[in-house]
């Protein structure tokens, strides 16, 4: 939906299963349209579309793309952003560190991302900018094992940045790619993000001209896990001249790692996704674990006063319950920043993709969860003058049914 300040808000459809285009389209019809009726009745509705490699290759076919464009129009929907982070399977199988593969050192990642922009530019409504989010270049362990990947990453980002710039000029569209910092990836903090972009700048004089087209997708869960504060973090990116392509509205799990905390964390150990753990003390990160089982298995993983923050996206609308906390304060701080910089980032996307692996006590029927997340988000936006009061009230009433 279009917010009062001109921002666009959607939920990311990576919460639904779908690796082929028919599967993806079926999920849109089964889940997205019913949610649209409940939260945006009578108004244009935005979709944050997730397309893996296989679905993208099928959708890009002219007849298929034209049929989808027609479906969007008759259902009063539009696409302004595509999640191009997971290249392959994302549900129902082991994903873990393979979600970062192929990384930006490979031609496969370049070709896939270009194809996403070719699709997006055909779907965008007039006057609306288009974003694609992607992996933070690579996983740290991949580059540590093969240092030559680093230069290939810079060369490939330059190639893709040129492509996006050319496509933008050719079509008159504002198109931009957002690299998404994430724990244990090649860049995970905002300081590392700025350093990465500065190194990329130094690799080729043309890069400076590409920065309007290649920027940062700021995931609130990820940066909260890193114990960052949203206002200085977002200011740091802006001061470095980096475009804020998209803001992922997401929340992480936090807990004191005492006996009760460790015991309760067992419910969040699952075999599909990587749940990195950052250990902090006094609000400063001091140690990192690649996955939650690694932290739980280490008897020296914590000191008195430590807090663990876990990369496990939890629903925005509800507290996870004792002994856990969440990081919605980081998300709200990011929205405060948007309030004071309303044109700095116009793409907002709720991204709680973990529905299938949530502990049963936290899992509502998927459409109810999405409606409640919309309600919580619109309330937060309305409190900052960014959302229409009528839409907020309508959504609250739906969430309370």
Residue by residue, pLDDT tens for the chain (401 residues) are 999 989 999 999 999 999 999 999 999 999 999 999 999 988 999 999 999 999 999 999 999 999 999 999 999 999 999 999 999 999 999 999 999 999 999 999 999 999 999 999 999 999 999 999 999 999 999 999 999 999 999 999 999 999 999 999 999 999 999 999 999 999 999 999 999 999 999 999 999 999 999 999 999 999 999 999 999 999 999 999 999 999 999 999 999 999 999 999 999 999 999 999 999 999 999 999 999 999 999 988 888 999 999 999 999 999 999 999 999 999 999 999 999 999 999 999 999 999 999 999 999 999 999 999 999 999 999 999 999 999 999 999 999 98
Say how far apart CA 148 and CA 284 lie, in whole Å: 31
Identify the structural domains of the chain with CATH numbers, from first to last.
8-252+326-399 (3.20.20.150)
**Most distant CA atoms of the chain, gap in Å:** 61
Which pLDDT score is estimated for 251? 98
The DSSP code sequence of 257-272 is -SHHHHHHHGGG--SS
- Determine the length of the chain: 401
Closest of 259, 183, 258 to residue 227, by C-alpha: 183
Our measurement of the distance from residue 36's CA atom to the centroid of its chain's CA atoms, rounded to an integer in Å, reads 20
Say how far apart CA 243 and CA 237 lie, in whole Å: 8
> Which residues are within 8 A (CB) of 26 and not within 5 positions of it... i.e. 6 or more apart?
18
Our measurement of the distance from residue 55's CA atom to the centroid of its chain's CA atoms, rounded to an integer in Å, reads 19
Which pLDDT score is estimated for 42? 87
* 8 Å CB contact between 252 and 309: yes
Which pLDDT score is estimated for 123? 98
């Amino acid at each position: 939906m279009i917010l009062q300040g001109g921002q666009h808000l959607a939920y990311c459809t990576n919460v639904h299963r779908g690796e082929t285009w028919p599967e993806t389209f079926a999920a849109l019809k089964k889940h997205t349209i019913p949610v649209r009726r409940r939260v945006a009745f009578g108004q244009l509705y935005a979709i944050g579309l997730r397309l893996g490699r296989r679905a993208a290759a099928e959708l890009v076919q002219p007849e298929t793309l034209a049929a989808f464009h027609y479906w969007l129009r008759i259902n009063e929907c539009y696409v302004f952003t595509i999640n191009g982070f997971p290249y392959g399977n994302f549900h129902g199988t082991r994903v873990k560190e393979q979600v970062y593969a192929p990384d930006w050192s490979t031609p496969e990642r370049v070709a896939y991302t270009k194809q996403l922009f070719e699709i997006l530019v055909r779907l965008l409504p007039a006057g609306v900018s288009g974003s694609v989010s992607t992996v933070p270049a690579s996983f740290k362990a991949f580059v540590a094992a093969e240092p030559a990947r680093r230069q290939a990453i810079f060369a490939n980002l330059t190639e893709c940045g040129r492509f996006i710039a050319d496509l933008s000029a050719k079509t008159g569209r504002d198109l931009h790619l957002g690299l998404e910092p994430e724990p244990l990836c090649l860049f995970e903090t905002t300081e590392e993000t700025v350093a990465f972009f500065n190194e990329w700048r130094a690799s080729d004089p043309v890069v400076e001209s590409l920065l309007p087209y290649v920027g940062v997708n700021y995931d609130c869960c990820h940066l909260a896990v890193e114990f960052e504060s949203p206002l200085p973090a977002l200011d740091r990116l802006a001061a470095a001249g980096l475009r804020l392509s998209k803001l992922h509205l997401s929340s992480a799990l936090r807990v004191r790692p005492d006996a009760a905390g460790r015991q309760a964390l067992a419910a969040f150990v699952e075999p599909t996704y990587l749940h990195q753990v950052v250990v902090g003390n006094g609000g400063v990160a001091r140690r990192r674990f690649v996955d939650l089982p690694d932290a739980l298995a280490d008897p020296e993983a914590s000191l008195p006063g430590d807090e663990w923050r876990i990369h496990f996206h939890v629903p925005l609308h509800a507290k996870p319950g004792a002994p856990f906390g969440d990081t919605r304060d980081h998300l709200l701080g990011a929205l405060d920043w948007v309030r004071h910089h309303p044109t700095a980032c116009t793409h907002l996307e709720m991204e709680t993709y973990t529905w299938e692996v949530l502990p049963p006590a936290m899992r509502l029927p998927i459409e109810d969860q999405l409606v409640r997340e919309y309600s919580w988000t619109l309330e937060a936006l309305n409190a900052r003058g960014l959302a229409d009061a009528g839409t907020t009230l309508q959504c609250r009433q739906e969430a309370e049914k």
